[in-house]
């Protein structure tokens, strides 16, 4: 079968890489793809991920049997609906179901209706009302742009001044554009964050291994929120008991709830969780696509074929026989980002050292924001540039290998966190 992957970032690089390894896949195409993805897939850089008409035409002309939609923007715009209307199997939820990610207020109201544990919240479309509220509660809260903001429209605040600055930046300065026309102000949860994934056809559910993302820009979970500075899997915090709670209290009610409301969820449900000291999970956020950078270590760890569950979910016929059950060694992804990210950053900076890590069987470098230069080498083309991902017998060994590889790569202004997988390192987390 011929598979089209929509998107061109680090997540799509990892997905296309994994799909290309399937014995059931004859060819992988990507739109727009990237210069790195072009090493093993046919790319169409002229086609944007949000251009539904062009993607439908491409799928038809290239005899595509499955379209895998990577980013959130085309899902929110209804790309999966358009493809299915054209009788093209598509992996990804409808535009209505995608509101679980594209509208924080929709997601919070949905969770309230279905008794899904999450933080207490208030919605605001008026800046002055929001400012009064955060002063009233003492400032300890999380301020979220209601719409899509590439994972960066979140501010964790501890004082009224911090909360008001976040509100002004989102609602008045419109740092995240129309995503900031409204905000959700949430209770500040205490615990440890975990990312959990489930693939569903709207009825059956295949769960994946948990991962842990690192959103803040700086070591020690300081600095601004980013799209993610690194991730690792497995996560010792997610014991069998915790996982049962996640599935029974959150994943299953979400899938059942969407179906009961007449909009079955088909695709991958990403649940960002806060797990407290008692092991009780609460939802921080929903995403309706694979996460970035969590996808990178998950794809490196997964020993089973990814394609059958994607295809089964897209066709509404998820087969339990195809559910992933074999997870190999631990994996750690360290993101190398441009100087200044997540705000302004320079592009076109030559990257050195990539050849030095090629050929290492325990390291895969996924490209999030790169472009080939005139000399044939790679240069920076985004805020998050590379996801250096390594496997090991445990999280400690995987992290050591990832950092050893990352330290051989260089570009002007390069920044990275030095504490990715710190929790896993502390626990010497074994392979689950």
CA–CA separation, 92 vs 114, rounded Å? 22
Q: In this structure, are residues 297 and 332 in contact, taking their beta carbons and an 8 Å threshold? A: yes
> Would you call 140 exposed, middle or buried from its count of C-beta atoms within 10 A (0-12, 13-18, 19+)?
middle
What's domain 121-186's superfamily in CATH? ATP-grasp fold, A domain (3.30.1490.20)
In which region does residue 425 sit, left (phi positive, over 0), alpha (psi from -120 to 50) or beta (all else)? alpha
The yes-or-no verdict on residue 95 having pLDDT over 50 is yes
CA–CA separation, 315 vs 19, rounded Å? 17
Question: What local confidence, expressed as pLDDT, does residue 426 receive?
Answer: 64
Q: Element (H or E) spanning 258, and its range? A: helix 252-260
Question: What local confidence, expressed as pLDDT, does residue 166 receive?
Answer: 93
* Tokens linked to 286: 């929903």
- Phi (first) and psi of residue 128, to 5 degrees: -65, -40
Task: Please tell me which residue, 231 or 225, carries the higher pLDDT value.
Answer: 231
Coil vs helix vs strand at 312: helix
For the residues 270-276, what does the mean pLDDT come to? 96
Q: What is the band of 430 on the pLDDT scale with cuts at 50, 70, 90?
A: very low
DSSP state of 371: E
Name which of 55, 132, 35, 77 is nearest 385 in CA terms: 35
Q: In this structure, are residues 301 and 17 in contact, taking their beta carbons and an 8 Å threshold? A: no
The yes-or-no verdict on residue 187 having pLDDT over 50 is yes
Question: What local confidence, expressed as pLDDT, does residue 359 receive?
Answer: 86
15-20 contacts at long range (C-beta below 8 A, 24 or more positions apart): 15/68, 15/70, 15/290, 15/295, 15/299, 15/306, 16/40, 16/41, 17/299, 17/364, 17/366, 18/299, 18/302, 18/306, 19/68, 19/306, 19/307, 19/310
The yes-or-no verdict on residue 387 having pLDDT over 70 is yes
Going from N- to C-terminal start, the domains of the chain cover: 2-92, 121-186, 192-427
* Tokens linked to 362: 């325990």
What's domain 192-427's superfamily in CATH? ATP-grasp fold, B domain (3.30.470.20)
Q: What is the band of 373 on the pLDDT scale with cuts at 50, 70, 90?
A: confident
Q: What is the DSSP string of 392-419?
A: ESBHHHHHHHHHHHHTT-B-TT-B--S-
Per DSSP, helices labelled H in 21-103 are 52-61, 72-76, 79-85, 99-102
CA–CA separation, 415 vs 44, rounded Å? 30
**pLDDT digits 0-9 by tens, 9-31:** 999 999 999 999 999 999 999 99
Question: What local confidence, expressed as pLDDT, does residue 427 receive?
Answer: 52
Coil vs helix vs strand at 282: strand
For the residues 337-365, what does the mean pLDDT come to? 95
CA distances for 374 relative to 36, 283, 350, 366, 378, angstroms = 15, 46, 11, 21, 9
Q: What percent of the chain has pLDDT over 90?
A: 90
* Domain 2-92 is found in CATH 3.40.50.20: yes
For the residues 67-90, what does the mean pLDDT come to? 98
CA–CA separation, 421 vs 187, rounded Å? 26
For the residues 83-101, what does the mean pLDDT come to? 97
The yes-or-no verdict on residue 431 having pLDDT over 90 is no
- Per the prediction, the chain carries an average pLDDT of 94
Q: In this structure, are residues 150 and 220 in contact, taking their beta carbons and an 8 Å threshold? A: no
**pLDDT digits 0-9 by tens, 132-178:** 999 999 989 999 999 887 767 888 999 999 999 999 999 999 999 98
CA–CA separation, 266 vs 268, rounded Å? 7
* Tokens linked to 52: 């539904």
CA distances for 76 relative to 84, 102, 413, angstroms = 15, 6, 34
- Phi (first) and psi of residue 74, to 5 degrees: -65, -30
Q: In this structure, are residues 419 and 220 in contact, taking their beta carbons and an 8 Å threshold? A: yes
């Amino acid at each position: 079968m011929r598979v089209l992957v929509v998107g061109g970032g680090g997540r799509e690089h990892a997905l296309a890489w994994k799909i290309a390894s399937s014995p059931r896949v004859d060819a992988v195409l990507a739109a727009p793809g990237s210069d790195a993805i072009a090493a093993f897939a046919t790319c169409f850089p002229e086609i944007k991920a949000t251009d539904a008409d062009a993607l439908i035409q491409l799928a038809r002309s290239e005899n595509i049997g499955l379209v895998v939609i990577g980013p959130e923007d085309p899902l929110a715009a209804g790309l999966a609906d358009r493809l299915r209307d054209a009788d093209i199997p598509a992996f990804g939820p409808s535009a209505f179901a995608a509101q679980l990610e594209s509208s924080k207020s929709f997601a919070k109201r949905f969770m309230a209706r279905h008794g899904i544990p999450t933080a207490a919240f208030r919605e605001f479309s008026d800046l002055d009302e929001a400012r009064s509220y955060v002063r009233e509660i003492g400032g300890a809260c999380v301020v979220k742009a209601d719409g899509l903001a590439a994972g960066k429209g979140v501010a964790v605040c501890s004082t009224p001044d911090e909360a008001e600055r976040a509100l002004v930046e989102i609602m008045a300065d419109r740092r995240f554009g129309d995503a900031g026309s409204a905000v959700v102000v949430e209770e500040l949860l205490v615990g440890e964050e975990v990312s959990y994934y489930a693939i569903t056809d709207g009825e059956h559910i295949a769960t994946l291994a948990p991962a842990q993302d690192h959103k803040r820009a700086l070591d020690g979970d300081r600095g601004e929120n980013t799209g993610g500075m690194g991730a690792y899997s497995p996560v010792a915090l997610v014991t069998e008991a915790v996982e049962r709670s996640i599935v029974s209290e959150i994943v299953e009610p979400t899938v059942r709830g969407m179906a009961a409301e007449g909009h079955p969820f088909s695709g991958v449900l990403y649940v960002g969780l806060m797990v407290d000291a008692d092991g009780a999970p609460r939802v921080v956020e929903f995403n309706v696509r694979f996460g970035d950078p969590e996808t990178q270590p998950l794809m490196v760890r997964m020993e089973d074929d990814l394609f059958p569950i994607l295809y089964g979910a897209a066709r509404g016929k998820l087969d339990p026989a195809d559910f992933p059950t074999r997870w190999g060694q631990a994996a750690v992804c360290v993101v190398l980002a441009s100087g200044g990210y997540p705000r302004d950053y320079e592009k076109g900076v030559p990257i050195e050292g990539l050849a030095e890590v090629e050929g290492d069987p325990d390291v895969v470098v996924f490209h999030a924001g790169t472009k080939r230069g005139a000399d044939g080498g790679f240069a920076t083309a985004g805020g998050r540039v590379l996801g250096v991902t390594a496997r090991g017998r445990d999280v400690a060994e995987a992290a050591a290998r990832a950092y050893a590889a990352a330290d051989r790569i260089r570009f002007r202004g390069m920044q990275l966190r030095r504490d990715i997988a710190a929790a896993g390192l502390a626990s010497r987390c074994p392979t689950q």
